[in-house]
């Protein structure tokens, strides 16, 4: 019995010391691990903890403003709130979102269906770019899993008036049309970063501040003068509606600098409201659409012949009997003008006369001169979709008919932008300035033709606007102006169509000291009036009258009011 008791005592002691030893070992191991964690792995643990509670978020950069040449805003960014949700959390915690739906303009069913459709996600936008009042109302609901995020929304103060120049951005403020697209990198800036602490439900615990400051985008100053832009927009829109036309374009260029002062198209669009946006309205026809320029290139045919020494300013061209046969084709004038001097060729817009000039020159020389002026070549303005134009024949195989049609504006296709470039050369004494949408000072341009010849041709074009010319309705009271009309048959599936026209006018003002060049294109006017002198010339007159006064150009022509009234 004593032996048994002694054995049990020894066994109990052994178990006691074993348990105590094991406990001591566990304590030592725990102490070592705690020391390791607290001393040796502090940075690692803090980093792991931060990953589960500290969040970095992007801070949107302010997109640079777009302004006109007088610092009037054309595009600005304003702070707005966007509403987001965590569908996973909302469903897990069974959060009641019935009060949220009407604030968002949705039914409870619609909102629930959207949450259910994204139940595996932790972030979705419920609505972007909301007004501050609505976002404040949502914030007061204090719903878990629902939050607001600050963003910026692009606003266009000029709306339709400058829509084709400025373009617009998408909802994330990335440019997708116009200057917004062409200069997107310059405007967009660099986003910053901020850091916050959130709990496991994604609720904000503490804002730790900004870690990287957002760099705002750069401001962009355009050459556009919003005052002139508005005049051009108003007159073009009114005329397109009056003549029930398909479309229209108008460009105004500063002669000395090549700056584009106004650029409008019809139909236009409102970039602030794109619910019913149509592709036809967005297209910037001034740079994308090509057309045969017709009689508007006749001054350049005359200039090329003068430069080549084929004619003099007092030369006489016989246009009798009013038509010209080339093979099985006939080139006609409106009537038999008989003998015409060089000025008379432009005044009467004689196809026969310029065709005879092209025979002297040859089609290749004439085409080369057109290209020096900028016709049929990309201007390189930078706007999306710019068309380079085209010539309809192989430039190495010019025949008489091709040379003739080229001389009066058929067989080649140009944009309004290219036609404006060509007339800028003529108005600037033969010096070509690169066209630009950015405000800039005059630079040394490239001489394309002698100054005297350019001045002589401009003087000849004054007669086109005179009592005997084709553009009497382009007259501008108080100023001398010069220009050329064009009425072009459009091409259809079966060739040129008799009832579809482009009405054109290219004008220079004032003619005695040119400041601006204006190109007007009206596409398919419907009605009794369709000639360039009837449709496009009056637009030039009204726009130029207002623009010269806004530019503080002093009137130099003082006429008897009865004469001026008759010319109008």
Distances (CA, A) of 384 to 133, 253, 256, 283: 37, 20, 25, 10
Q: Which of 172, 190, 215, 210 has the alpha carbon at shortest distance from 56?
A: 210
Does residue 391 contact residue 376 with C-beta atoms inside 8 Å? yes
Going by C-alpha positions, the residue among 550, 110, 484, 472 that lies closest to residue 299 is 484
Q: Roughly what angle, to the nearest 10 degrees, separates helices 451-462 and 416-427? A: 110
* Cβ contacts of 516 within 8 Å, gap of 6 or more: 252, 253, 254, 255, 261, 508, 509, 544, 547, 548, 551
Give the dihedral sign, CA 94/95/101/106. Answer: negative
The DSSP-derived string for 233-249 is: HHHHHHHHHHTT-SEEE
Q: Strand 431-432 relative to strand 316-318: parallel, antiparallel, unpaired?
A: unpaired
Across the beta sheet with 54-59, the strand order is 54-59, 192-198, 204-212
Helix 351-361, helix 400-407: angle, nearest 10: 130
* Residue appearing with tokens 């500063």: 254
How far from 261 is each of 307, 399, 481, 485, 545, CA to CA, in Å?
A: 31, 40, 18, 22, 15
Cβ atoms of residues 65 and 155 within 8 Å: no
Nearest to 101 by CA among 88, 85, 112: 112
Are 15 and 22 in contact, with CB atoms under 8 Å apart? no
Quickly list H helices, 59-192. Answer: 87-92, 100-103, 108-117, 132-141, 163-166, 178-182, 184-188
Can you tell me the distance from the alpha carbon of 239 to that of 519, in angstroms, rounded to the nearest whole number?
A: 15
List, by residue number, the catalytic residues: 295
- Angle, alpha carbons 236-242-246 (nearest 5°): 70
To which H or E segment does residue 261 belong?
A: strand 260-266
Given a contact cutoff of 8 angstroms between Cβ atoms, the answer to whether 302 and 354 are in contact is yes
């Amino acid at each position: 019995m004593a032996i048994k008791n002694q054995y049990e005592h020894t066994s109990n002691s052994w178990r006691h010391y074993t348990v105590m030893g094991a406990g001591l070992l566990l304590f030592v191991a725990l102490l070592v691990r705690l020391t390791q964690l607290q001393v040796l792995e502090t940075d690692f643990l803090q980093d792991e903890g931060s990953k589960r509670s500290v969040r970095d978020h992007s801070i949107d950069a302010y997109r640079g403003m777009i302004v006109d040449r007088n610092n009037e805003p054309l595009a600005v960014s304003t702070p707005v709130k966007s509403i987001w949700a965590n569908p996973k959390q909302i469903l897990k915690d069974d959060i009641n979102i019935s009060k949220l739906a009407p604030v968002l303009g949705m039914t409870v069913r619609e909102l629930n269906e959207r949450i259910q459709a994204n139940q595996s996600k932790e972030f979705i936008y419920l609505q972007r770019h909301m007004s501050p009042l609505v976002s404040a109302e949502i914030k007061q609901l204090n719903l878990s899993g629902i939050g607001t995020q600050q963003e910026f929304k692009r606003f266009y103060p000029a709306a339709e008036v400058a829509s084709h120049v400025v373009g617009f951005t998408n909802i994330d403020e990335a440019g997708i049309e116009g200057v917004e697209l062409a200069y997107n990198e310059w405007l967009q800036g660099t986003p910053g970063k901020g850091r916050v602490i959130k709990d496991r439900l994604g609720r904000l615990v503490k804002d730790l501040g900004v870690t990287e400051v957002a760099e705002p985008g750069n401001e962009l100053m355009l050459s556009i003068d919003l005052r002139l832009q508005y005049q051009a927009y108003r007159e073009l829109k009114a005329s397109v509606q009056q003549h029930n036309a398909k479309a229209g374009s108008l460009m105004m260029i500063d002669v000395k600098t090549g700056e584009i002062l106004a650029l409008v198209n019809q139909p236009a669009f409102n970039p602030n409201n794109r619910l019913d946006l149509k592709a036809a309205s967005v297209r910037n026809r001034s740079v994308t659409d090509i057309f045969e320029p017709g009689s508007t290139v006749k001054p350049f045919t005359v200039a090329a012949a003068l430069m080549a020494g084929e004619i003099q300013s007092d030369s006489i061209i016989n246009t009798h009997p009013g038509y010209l046969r080339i093979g099985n084709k006939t080139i006609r004038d409106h009537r038999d003008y008989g003998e015409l001097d060089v000025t008379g060729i432009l005044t009467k817009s004689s196809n026969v006369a310029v065709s005879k000039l092209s025979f002297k020159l040859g089609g290749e020389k004439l085409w080369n001169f057109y290209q020096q002026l900028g016709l049929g070549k990309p201007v390189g303005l930078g706007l999306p979709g710019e068309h380079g134009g085209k010539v309809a024949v192989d430039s190495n195989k010019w025949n008489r008919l091709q040379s003739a049609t080229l001389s009066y504006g058929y067989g080649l296709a140009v944009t309004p932008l290219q036609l404006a470039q060509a007339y800028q050369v003529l108005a600037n004494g033969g010096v070509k300035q690169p066209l630009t949408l950015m405000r800039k000072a005059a630079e040394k341009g490239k001489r394309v033709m002698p100054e005297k010849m350019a001045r002589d041709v401009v003087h000849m074009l004054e007669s086109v606007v005179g009592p005997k010319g084709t553009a009497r309705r382009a007259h501008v009271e108080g100023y001398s102006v010069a220009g050329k009309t064009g009425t072009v048959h459009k091409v259809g599936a079966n060739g040129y169509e008799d009832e579809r026209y482009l009405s054109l006018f290219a004008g220079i003002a004032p003619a005695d000291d040119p400041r601006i060049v204006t190109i007007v294109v009206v596409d398919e006017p419907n009605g009794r009036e369709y000639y360039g002198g009837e449709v496009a010339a009056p637009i030039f007159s009204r726009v130029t009258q207002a623009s010269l006064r806004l530019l503080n150009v002093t009137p130099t022509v003082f006429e008897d009011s009865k004469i001026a009234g008759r010319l109008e």
